[in-house]
């Protein structure tokens, strides 16, 4: 466990304390909850991304993915080579 000290504006503390009370938490517990939730969102790579990439690799290995040439994609969406 690591301890950190925060220096926050008094108005910010009041807002956070009010939200902590609404969630039936102490301010300390609420701040820990926010930090943990944010860290999970920033986790590299997120679990959902890893699962998606694993699925794509599996489909690629099984020949279940079709690829298009860049020219076909540009034509399909009406994008000219000069706009790139």
CATH classification at residue 24: 1.10.1220
Domain that holds residue 60: 45-84
Confidence of residue 43 (pLDDT cuts 50, 70, 90): confident
Tell me the C-alpha distance between 84 and 80, whole Å.
Answer: 7
pLDDT in tens, 11-21: 999 999 999 99
Work out how many domains the chain is built from and give that number.
Answer: 2
Is 60 in the same domain as 81? yes
Is 34 in the same domain as 51? no
| Percent over 70 (pLDDT), the chain | 95
Is 23 in the same domain as 56? no
pLDDT at position 40, please? 86
Is 49 in the same domain as 33? no
Residue 52: closest CA among 43, 60, 40, 63: 60
| Average of per-residue pLDDT across 32-43 | 91
């Amino acid at each position: 466990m690591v301890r950190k000290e925060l220096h926050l504006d008094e108005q910010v503390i009041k807002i956070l304390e009010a939200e902590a009370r609404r969630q039936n938490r102490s301010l300390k517990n609420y701040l820990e909850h926010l930090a943990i939730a944010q860290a999970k969102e920033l986790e590299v790579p997120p679990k959902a991304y890893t699962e998606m990439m694993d699925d794509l690799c599996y489909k690629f290995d099984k020949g279940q993915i079709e690829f298009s040439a860049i020219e076909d994609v540009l034509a399909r969406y009406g994008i000219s080579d000069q706009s790139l």
